[in-house]
Chains A and B, each alone.
Chain A
Amino acid sequence: MTSTALRSRAWKLLEMVTTPLLPSDYLDLVSPLRAGADLRGRIEAVHPETGDAATIVIRPGRGWRGHTAGQYVRIGVDVDGVRLWRAYSLTSPAKRRDGRVTITVKAIPDGKVSNHLVRSAKPGTLIQLDQATGDFVLPQAKPAKVLFLTAGSGITPVMGMLRDTEFDDVVMVHCAPQPQDVIFRDELHALVADKKLQLTEVHTDTDGMLDIARLDELVPDWAERETWACGPAGLLDAAEEHWSEHGVQERLHTERFRPTIVVAGDGGEVTFSATGKSVDADGATPLLDVGEEAGVLMPSGCRMGICFGCITPLKAGAVRDLRTGEITEAEPGVLIQTCVSAAAGPCDIER
């Protein structure tokens, strides 16, 4: 018998020992970061960067496959007991010797996860991880001339690149409201002092928003540079337009942090994505009724919110709990009780 076959037999036997649970349920008690476990990480330190940003040092589990500078990672953090998933750029160099990775998080107003991470995350806490992903990365061959165009927390993926690679000729234009809001400011200035970086800070509180046309003056050879841009949608839209106008769009690489703008309204178009049906719903009719009305086969139970027999994934949009008025927004893994939820704007129900 091959060793794989033997191992799978041994595993089957172990499953018999632990049924109805799985061997991993017990192994997780002692070794949540072991190879073969669901990918997790442990927060080992939280270093403040600015008044509202902090770097989180994470020791990933053994299953971590590493990352390339510029990529991001989705993490699942329990905030007030509720697991919430967000994506953050990795700011550590890809080959950090101690195997730790870092993300740098800026607290955004009303951001549940970002505020939690910046202000109350505790070393020792376990978090859930996905593998690193994203194609906002450098090419195999190091480009001769580079421009980084960033604003706010858009600097984070770029910092991962700067820490990972030594560039021959690199210019950075970074926008932040005030000098003290510039994340990694000391490190950037150290690079400038070492002549490893040319940096222009745009302080938007005093200078106003960056007018993309000013690039000609700030970085006269911008069009010759391979450019990576990350920041708010307005900046990226302007950049894409500007690069296209000059016919050099292939030199511009952008990264958009996924906008999570859900406007909770009263009713909206409900899509049943598995069935491919769409119907308009008001803000008072339970989605279970909406679905049945539209001829979608909906799981159902008590029809009053107590049996949890109707729970269904919410793929997109937002719904309102008809009992409490509470809004639930779509996130991976979010399930809703269709018998007591109504559309709060357009939404997508996986049925």
Chain B
Amino acid sequence: MTAIDPTAHLTAEQIEELGRELDAIRDEVIASRGEKDAAYIRKVISAQRKLELVSRGVLLFSFFPPAWIIGTAGLSVAKIMDNMEIGHNILHGQWDWMRDPKIHSTTWEWDHVSPADQWKHSHNELHHTYTNVIGKDNDLGYGIMRVDEDQKWQPFHLGQPLWNFINACFFEYGIAAYDLELGKNLDKRRRKNPEFRARAKAVGRKIRKQVLKDYVVHPLLSGPSFLPTLAATFTANLVRNLWSHSVIMCGHFPEGVQVFERRSINGETRGQWYLRQMMGSANISGSKAMHFMTGNLSHQIEHHLFPDLPSNRYAEVAVKVRALFEKYELEYVTGPLPKQVYSAWRKVVRLSLPNKKPKVKTPDRERELLAA
């Protein structure tokens, strides 16, 4: 809802042509999915399990400081792998085509307090369908933040840098609450809704199991290392939460990312839907290891265009997608992690304060024309 629509220069025909070109990219990947991809996800899953086993094993001796450090680091990475490259992507159905019932969106459960099926609804269905549509996509500010100049400011927003920081530390709980639409459902009348109660119960069960595992069973198994193991698991969860929160903030919050009005998606065509995903997402640049640790959400733009393509293929897709951005003169928002995190946080801080109506800027293209 910036004053200038960065897609205004595209005709309706161009937008549909863009959609066809993106469909062609998708079809190409689908047609070439195969053994190599299947081997990739199996390798990642097996590596994650081994890393977690070894790290938890090392933590049995965590009264010894080097063991604490190695075990905590290993467990943090294992939890990040579980949530990002494995869990997020499997739950998107990216690997359903393998027909392996053990690596399938309907059976997978992740190391996270939000039960997989609830997360699939709020994330896959609501967020991915209504990406960046204010009032429909709750990922925008998670219902606790103001993310666009055009949203009405309220005194509550003054605290949003703090809310965001707390949310980052306890991100998995934030997600669980968000999947439950807790804010809305805690209303007196809705609280008793049986469907909500069943879902809340499921979250309670999941939290109990997760907490029991991380903060009771494993520390107890460590015997004399009870407290160091407890601290190690807490740290690993914190690291995972801060990391995934940072990565996810970079997906839609950095400067340059567009948000959309509710009525703008009425009667949206396939081309327009693609265009909204392109303008509503941002990438993180970096090394292969960086892409892996973000679960390839560093390729957020490609992920939003094709949420069901296997994550290991986003890097090759990105080259083609970026070429389309250039062809259609659109801004491909990307940058290294620190820059993108800074950009997202700056927006959170800036919008915690009230603002005037945004100024109308002259788009560069027009300036170029005037200069010519």
**A interface vs B, CB < 8 Å?**
13, 16-17, 19-21, 25-26, 29, 78, 80-84, 301-302, 304-309, 311, 323-324, 326, 333-335
B125 interface residue per 8 A CB criterion: yes
A306/B100 contact (C-beta < 8 A), A17-B213, A17-B218 known: no
A78, B38: Cβ atoms closer than 8 Å: yes
A308, B96: Cβ atoms closer than 8 Å: yes
Complex-state Cα separation, A323 to B309, whole angstroms? 14
B331 interface residue per 8 A CB criterion: no
Q: Mark B208-235, 1 if CB is under 8 A from A, else 0.
A: 0110110001100100000000000000
B27, A324: Cβ atoms closer than 8 Å: yes
Q: Interface-forming stretch among B28-36, B133-141, B341-349?
A: B28-36
B52 to chain A, nearest CB (A): 9
B125, A301: Cβ atoms closer than 8 Å: yes
A16, B212: Cβ atoms closer than 8 Å: yes
Chain B contacts for A305, CB-based, 8 A: 308
Closest 8 CB pairs of A and B: A81-B38, A308-B93, A307-B124, A20-B109, A301-B125, A307-B125, A302-B129, A83-B99
A307, B96: Cβ atoms closer than 8 Å: no
Q: State which of B35, B50, B124 has its C-beta within 8 Å of the C-beta of A302.
A: B124
A16, B217: Cβ atoms closer than 8 Å: yes
A-B CB contact pairs (8 Å), 9 listed = A16-B217, A21-B109, A81-B38, A301-B129, A307-B125, A309-B125, A311-B93, A323-B23, A333-B99
Q: Mark B254-294, 1 if CB is under 8 A from A, else 0.
A: 00000000000000000001000000000000000000000
B120, A307: Cβ atoms closer than 8 Å: yes
Chain B contacts for A307, CB-based, 8 A: 93, 120, 124-125, 128-129, 307
Complex-state Cα separation, A21 to B53, whole angstroms? 12
B30, A324: Cβ atoms closer than 8 Å: yes
A311, B100: Cβ atoms closer than 8 Å: no
Chain B contacts for A26, CB-based, 8 A: 49, 53
B98 interface residue per 8 A CB criterion: yes
A17/B96 contact (C-beta < 8 A), A81-B34, A307-B125 known: no
B106 interface residue per 8 A CB criterion: yes
B21 interface residue per 8 A CB criterion: no
A308/B308 contact (C-beta < 8 A), A16-B213, A16-B217, A80-B34 known: yes
Complex-state Cα separation, A13 to B221, whole angstroms? 11
Having A83-B98, A307-B120, one finds 6 other A-B pairs with CB under 8 Å, namely A16-B213, A25-B49, A82-B38, A83-B100, A301-B125, A306-B128
B272 to chain A, nearest CB (A): 12
Chain B CB within 10 A, most for which of A17, A81, A84:
A81
Q: Mark B139-164, 1 if CB is under 8 A from A, else 0.
A: 00000000000000000000000000
Q: State which of A16, A25, A306, A333 has its C-beta within 8 Å of the C-beta of B209.
A: A16
A308, B124: Cβ atoms closer than 8 Å: yes
Q: Which residues between 110 and 138 of chain B lie within 8 Å of chain A, taking CB atoms?
A: 110-111, 120-121, 124-125, 128-129
Complex-state Cα separation, A319 to B66, whole angstroms? 57
Closest to A83 in B: B99
Q: State which of A17, A19, A20, A306 has its C-beta within 8 Å of the C-beta of B308.
A: A306
Complex-state Cα separation, A304 to B272, whole angstroms? 14
Chain A contacts for B34, CB-based, 8 A: 80-81
B35, A20: Cβ atoms closer than 8 Å: no
Query: Chain A's interface: helix, strand, loop or mixed, by majority?
Result: loop
A128 to chain B, nearest CB (A): 9
A11 to chain B, nearest CB (A): 14
Q: Mark B189-220, 1 if CB is under 8 A from A, else 0.
A: 00000000000000000100110110001100
B325 interface residue per 8 A CB criterion: no
Chain A contacts for B181, CB-based, 8 A: none
Q: Mark B88-113, 1 if CB is under 8 A from A, else 0.
A: 00001100111111100110011100
Chain A contacts for B35, CB-based, 8 A: 78, 80-81
B109, A334: Cβ atoms closer than 8 Å: no
B37 interface residue per 8 A CB criterion: yes
Complex-state Cα separation, A193 to B238, whole angstroms? 76
Chain B contacts for A25, CB-based, 8 A: 49, 102
Chain A contacts for B125, CB-based, 8 A: 301-302, 307, 309
Q: State which of A16, A29, A333 has its C-beta within 8 Å of the C-beta of B101.
A: A333
Closest to A308 in B: B93
Complex-state Cα separation, A29 to B37, whole angstroms? 19
A17, B120: Cβ atoms closer than 8 Å: no
Closest to A13 in B: B217
Chain A contacts for B308, CB-based, 8 A: 305-306, 308
A120 to chain B, nearest CB (A): 10
B46 interface residue per 8 A CB criterion: yes
A306/B33 contact (C-beta < 8 A), A20-B209, A83-B100 known: no
Chain B contacts for A83, CB-based, 8 A: 98-100
Q: Which residues between 31 and 84 of chain B lie within 8 Å of chain A, taking CB atoms?
A: 31, 33-39, 46, 49-50, 53
Complex-state Cα separation, A13 to B213, whole angstroms? 10
Chain A contacts for B38, CB-based, 8 A: 78, 81-82
Complex-state Cα separation, A55 to B50, whole angstroms? 35
Q: State which of A21, A84, A309, A324 has its C-beta within 8 Å of the C-beta of B120.
A: A309
Complex-state Cα separation, A188 to B210, whole angstroms? 61
Chain B CB within 10 A, most for which of A26, A82, A307:
A307
Complex-state Cα separation, A25 to B273, whole angstroms? 39
Complex-state Cα separation, A118 to B34, whole angstroms? 19
Q: Mark B1-45, 1 if CB is under 8 A from A, else 0.
A: 000000000000000000000010011001101111111000000
B110, A308: Cβ atoms closer than 8 Å: no
Complex-state Cα separation, A309 to B206, whole angstroms? 21
Chain A contacts for B105, CB-based, 8 A: 308, 311
A145 to chain B, nearest CB (A): 46
Chain A contacts for B33, CB-based, 8 A: 80-81
Closest to B310 in A: A81
Closest to B121 in A: A309
Complex-state Cα separation, A307 to B35, whole angstroms? 24
A29, B46: Cβ atoms closer than 8 Å: yes
Closest to B31 in A: A324
Closest to A311 in B: B106
Complex-state Cα separation, A82 to B104, whole angstroms? 12
